[in-house]
Chain A
Amino acid sequence: MNQQPQQPQLPPEYYQRLEEIQAIDFILIELNLYLDTHPNDQEAINQFNETVKKSIKLKMKFDIDFGLLINFGRGFTDCSWEWNDTPWPWQV
Chain B
Amino acid sequence: MWFYEKKLLYPVRVSTCNPMLAKFLLELYGGADGELAAALRYMNQRYSVPDRLISLLTDVATEELAHLEMIATMIYKLTKDATPDQLKQAGLGEHYVNHDRALFYTNAAGVPFTAAYIQTKGDPIADMYDNIAAEEKARATYQWMIDLSDDPDLNDSLRFLREREIIHSQRFREALEILKEGQ
Given contacts A89-B73, A90-B73, contact A1 B7 (CB under 8 A): no
Docked complex: B1-58 residues within 8 A CB-CB of A: 3-12, 55-56
In angstroms, Cα B56 to Cα A69, docked, is 25
- Nearest A residue to B101 via CB reads A1
- Nearest A residue to B12 via CB reads A90
Docked complex: B143-173 residues within 8 A CB-CB of A: 167-168, 171
CB-contact partner of B6 in A19, A25, A38, A68, under 8 A: A68
Asked if B175 is an interface residue, CB under 8 A from chain A, the answer is yes
* A1 adjacent to B79 (CB under 8 Å): yes
* A22 adjacent to B8 (CB under 8 Å): yes
- Nearest A residue to B103 via CB reads A1
Give the size of the chain B interface in residues (CB under 8 angstroms).
Answer: 32
Given contacts A69-B6, A70-B6, 4 further A-B contacts (CB under 8 A): A21-B7, A36-B59, A38-B174, A70-B3
A1 to chain B, nearest CB (A): 4
* A36 adjacent to B171 (CB under 8 Å): yes
Asked if B76 is an interface residue, CB under 8 A from chain A, the answer is yes
CB-contact partner of A33 in B56, B77, B103, under 8 A: B56
A34 to chain B, nearest CB (A): 8
Asked if B132 is an interface residue, CB under 8 A from chain A, the answer is no
Residues on A with C-beta less than 8 A from B126 are none
